[in-house]
Chains A and B, each alone.
Chain A
Amino acid sequence: MIGKELISQMKKLRDVERAKDIRQLTYSIFPGPHCPLMGAMLAVRSIKDACMMVVGTEECTYYTKSTTMNNMFGGMDSPCFSVVMNYHDVAFGSHKKIEEAFAELMSEYTPKAVFLISTCLGEIIGDDIDAMAETFSKQYGIHVAPVHTEHFKSENHIPGIANAVTACLHMMKDMPKGNGINVLGQRFGSFSSTELFRVLSKAGCEVGMALPGGCSVSQIETAASAKVNIVVDATALELAKGMKESFGTPYVRFERFAAPADIFKAYTELFGYLEASLPSEVEDLHKQAVETVGDAKPSLKNVRYIYGNTPLPTYEFNAFMVSMGMIPQLIQTVELPEKPHEYLDYILENSDPYVVKSANIAPLQYVYDEMKPHLYLGHEYALRLRQKGISLVRTDQASAMLGFEVTQVVLSELTRAAAEAKELEKERAS
């Protein structure tokens, strides 16, 4: 495989009109993206008093349960149940089997909510899990939320998270508004360890529901009592919109932004909805972050990078790096925001990167030889990158952060990696 040939098949980000137009680097991929089923599992696993029932092939059900059996995800007794489809079910539908399994589940366990998850096969043959969920809900008097996770309609696991989170809307009841907030889209770590939580706590603001990060079914039921929803990840945007429409709860997008200006804007908007003055601590943190940006700029100017996958929002983070004088050579993503878009436009005004679909690291090895980036952001083999003179930027530590702490940790890692890349360049030259 020749790097030049691969690059010649890539599209420039500026030439892509729809997400569908983003090309796969090669026709065969490895490891490929995760599927929405895994996304749904990741979202549901941390909701207390709830369980999931996955309907699919042995593979889908086996891999989902075996992942949750990891102690990190709940251990052997994790509340993940399965119904395995066979040829008979494909021919005649799996309704009866699901009904039987649901009865078994309810006779042995007492979940307050069940997420009924359908996978590729059920969606192809048209099993109506929405209707089944509605029936079970009435029959057993608990919440039963249908979640659709067919992978052939999406590029990765993100829609699975979004679908599971959005499905929670129907569990919520209208409530009198209080002074608290909900955190929507808390996928990594605990909200209580973030800067944003610290600032809100000092301001006397109470956190109601953090979905999906460790909330309970009762917290979901009463989530409409919050004064404002904070959307910390785009996967919860549909839920936030739904709650605004159903209960009038406003929302603020406070994702894992890297640029101090974006974070400051989110803080300002949030405290506006809370009808409270912006704490002086936020002003101080903003000032410190702006200073760090100024200090880091000289060492990051003209640093070339390939963007893989990070816990930060792709376009905001890339726009931030471009604003630092860095040069994006290739961005791997499956998303394309609707144009005009603030961050996308900024990237295109100041750089001209290629774009390909993510999660296909095998052929990238040949691309590195041609593009010769200084940095790679995302999951890759660090040693292999070093051999090619590339430094790996690790941003996973930022996944449990929100606020200016993200700017600080990201800049610290970028400058470290840029310095390492220069050393590697010297070593290779000698």
Chain B
Amino acid sequence: MSSRTFLRLAITALLASPAAAVLADAPPAPDTSNWKCESCPFYAGYDADVTAGAIVPGEANAPFGRYTGIDQDKTYVDLDAHGDWRTAAGDYAHYELDDLGLDSRTGRITLGQDGHYSVALSYAGQPNRIYDATVTPYLGGGGSLTLPSGWVAAGTPAGMSALAASLHGVDIGTLRKNFGLEARWLVGGGWSVFGSAKREDKTGTEILGASFLTQAVQLPAPVNYTTDTFEVGTAWSDAKRSLRFTLSDSNFKDDTAALYFQNPYLPLVPSAMTGAIALPPNNEARVANFTASTVLPFNSSASLAAGYTKLTQDQALLPPSTLPGAVSPGSFDGDVTLQHYALTLGSRPVPGLNLHGRASYDERNDDSTPMTITQIVTDVAPGATVTTQNYDYTRWRFDGGADYRLWRWLTIGIGADRTQVDRTQQVVRDTADGETFGHLRLTPWSMLVINLKGGVATRDVRGIDLALLPPLENPLIMMFNLAPLYREFFELGATVSPTATISLGLQGSWSDDFYRHTVIGLVSGRQRRLEATFGWTPTEALSFYADGGYEARQTVQDGEFSAASAEWQALINDRYWNASAGGRYTHGRFEASVDYSHATSGGETDVGTIGLLGGFPELSTRYDSLRLGVGYHFTPALTVRLRYVYQNYASADWALDNVGPATLGNLLSLGAPAAAYNVNLVALSFNYRFGTGAAPRKAE
């Protein structure tokens, strides 16, 4: 039977089964004529609350305020507002406005009528501050970066005599602004129609590397992206079945198509004075998705999903170089189709038995028109004539499992997963990943649950075609995602609740990866993890928690640069620790909370001739955070809250430490430092609540 026949059968069955299911069980409805609900405190009226205050950070910087926007030593306004209005007829309005004084502000306003329609407007700001201590000699913006007048080019950054005087600060980071409009209309009979229009503006500056052959420079590149997404859809469901169909169109637009930058080095060829780098091209994604599900007899259910995506672009291309006489080869007719089909079955046919399985098929067809282009390498020298490659694949995935509760205290289970991928234009044509596992759930006492899982995973490869390797690539290389693999793994989970107020949890995992046929590339990997949690809630007013974890990852990879076997090796050991503890307490009008979190990472990198490895300085990060919060309810309507946050972050990174703009002979860098901060933050806010009842508060 072909896959198409299978899909036809699946669709037929899915459509047939609901009709049959309708004929099955329909429980008798009670007489509800006397169900007045007279004691039900239905809500109508309005409630609102406003929080206003100030946030004062000390010694804040970009890494501290990365996602909040609190990155300056200044006073920030702490302003939130929430409200809820509802009529007895079911009309309602709801708004949540948070962090209005910060770049990370969010807002959502919803209007509607129960059971009929809803409309929502939303905004979310998402800053991503990365560096505020980077420096560059480049001037200008948009798509053109120039060097200051009087610039002295040289063969190395150290020789650029005007460099030190030309450096000025440039912040690296972006800000996303997400605007949304969503609407839903409940048509009746279980049907709904919905639609949304969303816009995301992402602006800022990012680090972009570029080079003139082996002379490299880090550029402060502009980010001016806009993504508009429109979606419409319809859905239907009843107690046993559901359908959902959506269409969406997403357009990505980059306001800066290319970045031109002056060559700070002595040009390797006389005319190589300027470089040009293509920034992400405008693109469009059109997506259709269909989902259906139904309940089947014997406590079973099935669902079907189908998805079709079309990715396109037709951006005008730059000339192959900035050298005189270079002509653009036109535009690239990019056209990729993605398809996804899946069928899921789940069943609990008899008490204690749980069966589940899924078959899915994914396909990527790159129908882009191939282009053959004679390259000019980094705007300097003629290179090879190369034809673009279309990467296609088909991916079948089957997974399933069965669990059976043998006794009240023991559940056993097995499962398997197989993924087969056929690719084009890649050195390995076929990979088949398989995983087989067994697991146990032990519940010797109701307070104790232990989960154990163990298994093996393998990857087999076929169809290796060394002719597809890039020129001068070592034929012994095995790209690790396409290499034969054998993995052993084991997982442990346990929860114990010796009393109603105490709970403990433990999770651990262990895995060993062996790339046994790999001579050059990643040859082995191992991971160990352990996490533990503790919770104690002696009273409703008092609770404590603590948790901690450890993780170790080790990889071994071999490389070579001339011989037919591995000559050098890299041994990488990464370790992580984390711990946190805290509690909450309320008493009358008083509330307090405390949290301490600690996280440390360490990374050892040893590289060298096999048997004679040299160690890099240890990579390390250390994060400590103490949060204290106290609140006092002066009246049911007025609350004052004081928050104190101490955060300390320190890191050592051999790739960044001591690397200034002129340190390296072949890189004019932005001098990005390893992240560090030591911040004390105090926030004082007043919360006032008003309306006809207690407004829902933002979860804290």
Whether A associates with B in a native complex is no
